[in-house]
Amino acid sequence: LAKTTQPISMDSYEGQEVNITCSHNNIATNDYITWYQQFPSQGPRFIIQGYKTKVTNEVASLFIPADRKSSTLSLPRVSLSDTAVYYCLVGDLDTGRRALTFGSGTRLQVQP
């Protein structure tokens, strides 16, 4: 599985857009990029997944450049409840049947 690198922490204010970038230089052709969110004392929650270009859902957007060596999770207009740890993972199509390897994640702190 490709190794990922993320900033350890980020700070933001309510109402701002937050962009968290993840580096995955060794991503393989069949790898997808997935982001999870984890609140304290809870299990991780799936946010978004993509392969290339841009993916958007009701929660976030995921931007993936053509070389796919990085990806950016974009959270529009964050609120205090978005304070959490965000994990970027990469894996192939069958990874759902195999355990996920979590990196250190990015701890996002949203201030009022």
Residue numbers of the site for another protein (CB under 8 A)?
32, 34, 41-46, 49, 87, 89-105
Q: Of the two residues 83 and 92, which places its CB atom closer to another protein in the complex?
A: 92
- Within its chain, how far is the Cα of 1 from the centroid? 16
- Within its chain, how far is the Cα of 63 from the centroid? 10
d(CA 64, CA 15): 24
Q: How far is the CB of 69 from another protein (least distance, A)?
A: 18
Q: How far is the CB of 16 from another protein (least distance, A)?
A: 24
Q: How far is the CB of 77 from another protein (least distance, A)?
A: 25
Q: How far is the CB of 46 from another protein (least distance, A)?
A: 5
Q: Of the two residues 78 and 89, which places its CB atom closer to another protein in the complex?
A: 89
Q: Of the two residues 34 and 70, which places its CB atom closer to another protein in the complex?
A: 34
Residue 86 burial (CB count, 10 A): 24
Q: Of the two residues 29 and 41, which places its CB atom closer to another protein in the complex?
A: 41
